[in-house]
């Protein structure tokens, strides 16, 4: 891995992927995104990992896709390279993925953070889709995910002006989960990941799937999907353990079975 650092056990059952192109503000070139895809695939299949954090550094989560790599490409180059398949794979990660964001999360960086399940931000985090300023528009989900998160009016304003949105505004409009002082954002993301890692991984996977399904379906179909996953959880040893532990007034011991 050249552009990311992967720590399988950053905390018990919690893996960390750190984007590591600091001089370029973690601009997302193709290799970096392929490395992220491969790392996520490995961690998703690793039974010792129950939650994954993706972070950058204090200055930047990621300032977007690598403009220098994209600038001279043709539409057909893009079609043939099919970068979207890499991003699609990231979206398919079954384990919970938390973005720990400080500094710039712009363009593809903002889209990448929004592809994660939750966003913990530092006070200095800045979100935006500034593609309009360089003659194009969001290409990795920005017009869709930002609109679903903050609503049409705010999304239109941000995408059509390219204005950067500070963390406070992102929190107010529901884009992110919480803001903490800059020295705390990674610790806070770890605490959140550990809290989730203590739950049944089977139930977490089924619940994540069901929440994500709400973006794809009408209510009736979504409710049916949720119900089936609910029933399915009763096939797990973890559901039996969780309910038994409640009745016996003790902490559950989830095995992920």
Would you tell me which residues interact with ligand DAK (CB under 6 A)?
24-25, 27, 63-68, 78, 83-84, 87, 104, 106-108, 111, 130-131, 134, 139-140
C-alpha dist (Å) from residue 238 to 31, 46, 178, 205: 38, 18, 29, 12
Q: Is 220 exposed, middle or buried (0-12, 13-18, 19+ CB in 10 A)?
A: exposed
**Catalytic annotation present for 65:** yes
Given the residues 15, 51, 62, 65, the one annotated as active site: 65
Distance in Å, CB of 201 to ligand DAK, minimum: 29
Q: Other C-beta atoms within 10 Å of 255: how many?
A: 12
Rounded to whole angstroms, the Cα distance separating 102 from 94 reads 25
Distance in Å, CB of 233 to ligand DAK, minimum: 34
Distance in Å, CB of 190 to ligand DAK, minimum: 26
Which tokens belong to 231?
A: 């029933």
Residue closest to ligand DAK (Cβ): 107
**Catalytic annotation present for 222:** no
Distance in Å, CB of 162 to ligand DAK, minimum: 8
Please choose, from the candidates 159, 141, 165, 158, the residue with its C-alpha nearest in 3D space to the C-alpha of residue 215. 141
**Catalytic annotation present for 108:** yes
| DSSP structure class, residue 51 | E
Nearer to ligand DAK, 56 or 107 (CB): 107
Distance in Å, CB of 5 to ligand DAK, minimum: 19
Residue length of the chain: 257
Check: CB of residue 6 under 8 Å from CB of residue 41. Answer: no
Rounded to whole angstroms, the Cα distance separating 87 from 98 reads 16
| DSSP structure class, residue 79 | H
The dihedral built from the CA positions of residue 11, 188, 97 and 3, taken in this order, carries a sign that is negative
Given the residues 56, 64, 108, 141, the one annotated as active site: 108
Nearer to ligand DAK, 141 or 252 (CB): 141
**Catalytic annotation present for 123:** no
Residue ranges of E strands in 123-174: 126-128, 165-166
Catalytic residue numbers, as ranges: 65, 108, 111, 131
């Amino acid at each position: 891995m050249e552009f990311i650092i992967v720590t399988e056990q950053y905390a018990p059952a919690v893996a960390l992927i750190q984007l590591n192109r600091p001089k370029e503000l973690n601009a997302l070139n193709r290799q970096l995104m392929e490395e992220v895809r491969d790392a996520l695939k490995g961690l998703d299949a690793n039974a010792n990992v129950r939650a994954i954090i993706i972070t950058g550094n204090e200055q930047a989560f990621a300032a977007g896709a690598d403009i220098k790599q994209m600038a001279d490409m043709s539409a057909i180059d893009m079609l043939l390279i099919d970068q979207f398949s890499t991003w699609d794979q990231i979206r398919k990660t079954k384990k919970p993925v938390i973005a720990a964001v400080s500094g710039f999360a712009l363009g593809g960086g903002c889209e990448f953070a929004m592809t994660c399940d939750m966003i913990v931000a530092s006070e200095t985090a800045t979100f935006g889709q500034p593609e309009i300023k360089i003659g194009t528009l969001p290409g990795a989900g920005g017009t869709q995910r930002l609109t679903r998160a903050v609503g049409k009016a705010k999304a239109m304003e941000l995408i059509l002006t390219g204005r950067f949105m500070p963390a406070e505004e992102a929190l107010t409009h529901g884009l992110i989960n919480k803001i903490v002082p800059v020295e705390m954002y990674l610790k806070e993301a770890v605490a959140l990941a550990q809290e989730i890692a203590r739950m049944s991984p089977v139930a977490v996977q089924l619940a994540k799937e069901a929440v994500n399904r709400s973006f794809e379906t009408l209510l009736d179909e979504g409710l049916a999907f949720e119900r089936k996953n609910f029933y399915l959880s009763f096939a797990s040893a973890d559901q039996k353990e969780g309910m038994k532990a409640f009745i016996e007034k003790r902490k559950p011991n989830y095995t992920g079975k």
